[in-house]
Amino acid sequence: MSGSTWAAKVSAAGFSSVRAMALISQTSTYDTVLATTRGGALYSVHVPTAGGFKPGVKLVRAAGSRWEKPINLVAERCGQYGTLLVGIDRNGQNAEMFAIGHVNGTATVINELHWVDAEFADPAYFRMTGRPDLTPPLNGE
Domain extent listing, the chain: 18-116
d(CA 11, CA 69): 25
pLDDT in the model for residue 10: 64
- 35: enclosing H helix or E strand: strand 30-37
pLDDT at 124: 66
Picking from 48, 49, 106, 42, the residue whose alpha carbon sits closest to that of residue 75 is 42
Say how far apart CA 7 and CA 23 lie, in whole Å.
15
* The model's pTM: 0.80
| Cβ atoms of 95 and 113 closer than 8 Å | no
DSSP 8-state code for residue 14: S
Q: Residues of 48-73 as b/e, b for ≥16 C-beta within 10 angstroms?
A: eeeeeeebeeeebbeeeeebbbbbbb
CA 131, CA 133: separation in Å to the nearest integer? 5
Tens-level pLDDT at each residue, the chain (141 residues):
566 666 656 667 778 888 888 988 888 888 899 999 988 899 999 988 887 778 899 999 998 777 777 778 888 888 777 888 888 886 767 888 999 988 999 999 999 998 887 777 666 666 666 666 666 666 666
Q: What are phi and psi of 85, to 5 degrees?
A: -120, 130
Predicted pLDDT at 57: 92
Residue 51: per-residue pLDDT: 77
Q: What per-residue confidence (pLDDT) applies to 44? A: 94
- Contact between residue 55 and residue 12 where contact means Cβ atoms under 8 Å apart: yes
